[in-house]
Every structure is written in C-alpha cells, then in structure tokens.
Amino acid sequence: MANSAGDPYPGIRLSTDNHGHRLVDHVPPSRRILAIIACGFLASFVAYARFPSGQPPAFYWPLIALCLPVTATAVVFSLQALWNRDPVRDRDPESQAIYDAIVFRIVLFIIGLHGLLVAAMVGAFAGRSWAPRTVVVLFGLLVMSIGNLLPRTRPNLELGLHTRRTLSNRTLWMRTHRVGGRLAVGLGAVIVISGMFLSHVTIPIVVSPATLAAMLLWFISYRWQSRQ
C-alpha cells in the first residue's frame, strides 16, 4: 500500500491490514526467554543465602542480586513492545523465530554474566585466574551467534542496520546483513580466541582494532551495495 502524505516512513512498505491500518501484535516474550530470566532471579536468591556474613553490605545487595536480571527483563519487554508495533517488519513465523533467537542469545549472555557475578560473590572463583576470561569468551560467542543469524533477518526497526535505504530495499538489506553477519562471526572468533589465549593487557590491543575494522568494512560494504 502507498504511504500517505506525512507518513514518517515514505517509500517504505508498511505492514497493514485489509483496511490499511497498521498492524499491532500482542505477542508476549517467548517462554524460554522468560525461563532464563526466572533462572537469573532464582540464582540471586540461592546465592544470597551463601554470601559470607556481612558481605556484601546490605545496601548493595539489591544492586548485586537484581541489577542484571532486571536489566534483562527491561530489555526483553521493551524490545517486544517495539517489535509488536513495528510497522515495517514481516509478520510471519520465520521473522518471529529469528527475532526470538536473537533476543534469547542476548538474554542468555546477560544472565550468564549474572551467574558469574553471584558465583564470584560466594567465592566460587577464589584463586582462579580464568574467571575474568570467561566474560570475554561469552561476549565473543554472543557476537558470533548473532552474526550467524543476521543474514536471515528482514527489514525491521529493532535489529540490524536500519537506514532508509535498507528499510525500503529488501535486497540491499539482505546483502548488507549477509556481509555484516560474516564480519560479526569473524570478530566474535577473534574475541573468543583473545579471551582464551591472550593476556589481559593484550586483549584490548587486539580486540579494539578488530572491532573498528569490522565496523568500517561493514560501512564500506553498505555504501558500495547501496550504489548498485
């Protein structure tokens, strides 16, 4: 359907019903995402009973115990609300499945960090130098897994590189995110290897230039593809 005058998305195909009204879904977050968040809260309460006496101070307990699970909850419900109202995205099972898969990985990373935090608070990592490396490795795996899913996304306003050109041209979106996905997988592999084998001083020296290079290559690819 052609966009009406004053439409904020001129030239971009919108999801509408038979009467031309923009579609609004009422789909809740997937059960597995909510289950992971529930595990995060459960870990907080279990760990609290095992904290050493007087540690952490009572003032900091809510922040340590609830910060990351609450953050994950806010991210999930905020993204879901935007996704349900997205006038650009496809409304089909495949698009929904890719969205759920990406959000699931993000939440799994956040709750994974929370698990490491509460484990550290109860002394599970005392004297173990590999614990900080786990965070780097987990982040690299997150980047790789999302990069693997990026080529399967289609124009939307929540995930990916959404410019006016990519939103109005599905072919450009697909080509741009195919390149972005490959770059993300490569960058994630660099992060994982760095976290596993490099010293804590060397990791940022390697990862930072690799991140900038990946972003620059993605931008150059987008500009080149958009002129085809």
Task: Assess whether 110 and 170 both reside in one domain.
Answer: no
pLDDT at 1: 40
- Residue 18 in any domain: the answer is no
- Residue 187 in any domain: the answer is yes
Task: Assess whether 134 and 220 both reside in one domain.
Answer: yes
Final residue before a domain boundary, out of 94, 126, 158: 126
Per-residue pLDDT at 19 exceeds 80: no
Tally of residues, the chain? 228
- Residue 3 in any domain: the answer is no
Final residue before a domain boundary, out of 101, 126, 151: 126
Reported as a single tens digit per residue, the pLDDT across 127-140 is 666 778 899 999 99
What is the average pLDDT across 207-221?
96
pLDDT at 166: 93
pLDDT at 211: 97
Task: Assess whether 75 and 145 both reside in one domain.
Answer: no
Task: Assess whether 146 and 162 both reside in one domain.
Answer: yes
Task: Assess whether 119 and 53 both reside in one domain.
Answer: yes
Smallest Cα–Cα separation from 130: which of 138, 122, 121?
A: 138
Task: Assess whether 139 and 122 both reside in one domain.
Answer: no
Task: Assess whether 142 and 48 both reside in one domain.
Answer: no
- Residue 8 in any domain: the answer is no
Q: Which domain holds residue 139?
A: 129-228
Task: Assess whether 53 and 83 both reside in one domain.
Answer: yes
Burial 54-81 (b: 16+ CB within 10 A, else e): eeeeeeeeeebbbebbebbbeebeebbe
Final residue before a domain boundary, out of 100, 126, 152: 126
What is the average pLDDT across 162-184?
94
* Paired tokens of 191: 């992060």
What is the average pLDDT across 30-58?
81
pLDDT at 7: 61
CA dihedral 126, 130, 133, 139 (to 10 degrees): -80
pLDDT bucket at 209, cuts 50 / 70 / 90: very high
Q: For residues 175 and 133, what is the distance between their CA atoms, to the nearest angstrom?
A: 34
Task: Assess whether 122 and 133 both reside in one domain.
Answer: no
Burial 190-211 (b: 16+ CB within 10 A, else e): bbbebbeebeeeebeeebeebe
Neighbours of 113 (CB within 10 A): 17
pLDDT at 26: 87
State the total domains in the chain. Answer: 2
- Residue 13 in any domain: the answer is no
